């Protein structure tokens, strides 16, 4: 590294990232005002739009095209360079941006045709979670070179734009961040597969989830269960929570909403519940999330299964 390059401080980089996030957020908000209905109609796919926008933003501005500076870095007087102090190519800048943004935009994104409880989804979640956490861990613990995962991958450094003192040698990345990330990865892998193989009660809900997900106008769905902590083990009731995201703005937010009614009937007909005293909470969500901005509205109905049955028997 040339002897006039000075590494950026931790908080300087964080502030620059916050400024960039704010800029992207404002842009996303404006897009939402214009394309609100369209974003809602495409469901989770909308997040890919924000991802593409972020990739273009960070790839172009952090490259030699804009002298290694996003607007946030420009304000904080820092820039991205290689080990020689040169600005990086658009290709390397894209790879860097891809690694940085992928965990945050693909986290929770469901693969079409793949079940939420499938091993593929679990592996996807583990990889994305570990990379995202690794980025944060390297930010915090790699005090020697201040490189995070995306910097190490393409051998870049974030340095001060105006340098008052120099560095003669490039410090090495210590092993601690690697050990921490690796240990967390192993814990997540073991925990995920243990839960997958041991949670038989939750697996009983899988056919119900699939039927709910296959409804028209449903872009995403989830179903979960939990027990009350304040009741005796013999008498405690289970609460089932079915959350459905619709790909349109609901015209009916009452209990007669078609998607809500179909979801309730699917659940009741499944007989996966243990007692009519158990609670069924159905949440209907409408909105969008493009990764850089989001907007949601929701309504729900919460009552014992016996009460839901009465509605259907009227």
Half-sphere exposure of 142 (CA within 13 A, CB side): 28
The predicted structure's pLDDT at residue 173:
74
**7: which strand partners?**
159
Q: Torsions phi, psi of 103, nearest 5?
A: -60, -30
pLDDT band at 122 (very low <50, low <70, confident <90, very high): confident
Residue range 258-277, pLDDT digits in tens: 999 999 999 999 988 888 88
The predicted structure's pLDDT at residue 164:
47
Mean pLDDT over 225-240 rounds to 72
Span of 30-34, 38-42, 221-225, 300-304 with lowest mean pLDDT: 221-225
* Number of separate helices (H) and strands (E) present in the chain: 11, 6
Q: Return d(Cα 158, Cα 267) in angstroms, integer.
A: 53
pLDDT band at 111 (very low <50, low <70, confident <90, very high): low
The predicted structure's pLDDT at residue 84:
86
Give the DSSP per-residue string, 151-190: HHHHTEEEEESS-SS--SSPPPPPSHHHHHHHHHHHHHHH
Domains within the chain, CATH numbers bracketed: 10-198 (no CATH), 201-312 (3.30.70)
Residue range 142-168, pLDDT digits in tens: 888 889 999 999 999 999 975 544 444
Q: Return d(Cα 255, Cα 5) in angstroms, integer.
A: 64
- Residue 223 is inside which H or E element, if any? strand 218-227
The predicted structure's pLDDT at residue 4:
61
**240: which strand partners?**
225, 280
Q: Return d(Cα 49, Cα 62) in angstroms, integer.
A: 20
Mean pLDDT over 4-16 rounds to 88
Task: Kindly list the strands in the beta sheet with 218-227, ordered across the sheet, starting from the edge strand earlier in the chain.
Answer: 218-227, 238-246, 279-289, 294-304
What percent of the chain shows pLDDT beyond 90?
A: 50
Half-sphere exposure of 211 (CA within 13 A, CB side): 14
Contact 37, 250 (CB under 8 A): no
More reliable by pLDDT, 114 or 36: 36
CA distance to 209, 230, 245, 284, 299, per residue, from 295 (Å): 24, 35, 12, 14, 14
Half-sphere exposure of 204 (CA within 13 A, CB side): 11
Half-sphere exposure of 141 (CA within 13 A, CB side): 16
Q: Return d(Cα 78, Cα 66) in angstroms, integer.
A: 12
Q: Return d(Cα 307, Cα 275) in angstroms, integer.
A: 12
pLDDT band at 1 (very low <50, low <70, confident <90, very high): very low
Residue range 163-209, pLDDT digits in tens: 544 444 466 777 888 888 888 888 877 877 766 665 666 778 888 98
Residue range 46-85, pLDDT digits in tens: 999 999 999 999 999 999 999 999 999 999 999 999 988 8
Q: Torsions phi, psi of 240, nearest 5?
A: -105, 130
Q: Return d(Cα 107, Cα 228) in angstroms, integer.
A: 29
pTM metric for this prediction = 0.83
pLDDT band at 115 (very low <50, low <70, confident <90, very high): low
Mean pLDDT over 12-31 rounds to 97
CA distance to 213, 238, 241, per residue, from 230 (Å): 32, 12, 18
Residue 229 has pLDDT above 90, yes or no: no
**246: which strand partners?**
218, 286
The predicted structure's pLDDT at residue 283:
95
């Amino acid at each position: 590294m040339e002897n006039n390059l000075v590494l950026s401080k931790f908080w300087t980089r964080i502030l620059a990232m916050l400024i960039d996030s704010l800029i992207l957020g404002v842009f996303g908000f404006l897009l939402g005002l214009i394309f609100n209905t369209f974003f809602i109609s495409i469901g989770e796919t909308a997040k890919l739009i924000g991802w593409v926008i972020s990739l273009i933003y960070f790839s172009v501005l952090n490259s030699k095209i804009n002298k290694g500076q996003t607007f946030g870095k420009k304000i904080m007087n820092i820039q991205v360079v290689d080990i020689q102090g040169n600005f990086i190519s658009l290709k390397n800048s894209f790879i860097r941006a891809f690694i940085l943004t992928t965990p945050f935009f693909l986290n929770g994104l469901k693969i079409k045709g793949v079940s939420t409880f499938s091993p593929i989804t679990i592996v996807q979640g583990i990889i994305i979670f570990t990379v995202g956490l690794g980025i944060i861990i390297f930010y915090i613990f790699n005090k020697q070179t201040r490189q995070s995962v995306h910097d190490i991958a393409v051998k870049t450094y974030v340095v001060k734009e105006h340098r008052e003192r120099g560095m003669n040698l490039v410090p090495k990345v210590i092993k601690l961040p690697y050990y921490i990330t690796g240990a967390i990865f192993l814990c997540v892998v073991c925990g995920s597969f243990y839960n997958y193989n041991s949670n038989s009660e939750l697996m009983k809900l899988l056919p119900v989830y699939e039927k709910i997900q296959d409804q028209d106008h449903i872009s995403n769905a989830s179903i979960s269960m939990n027990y009350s902590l304040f009741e005796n083990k013999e008498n405690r009731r289970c609460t089932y929570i079915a959350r459905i995201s619709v790909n349109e703005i609901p015209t009916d937010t009452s209990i007669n909403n078609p998607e809500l009614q179909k979801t309730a009937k699917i659940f009741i007909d499944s007989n996966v519940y243990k007692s009519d005293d158990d609670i069924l909470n159905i949440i209907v969500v409408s909105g969008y999330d493009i990764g850089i901005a989001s907007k949601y509205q929701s309504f729900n109905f919460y009552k014992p299964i016996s009460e839901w049955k009465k509605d259907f028997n009227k």
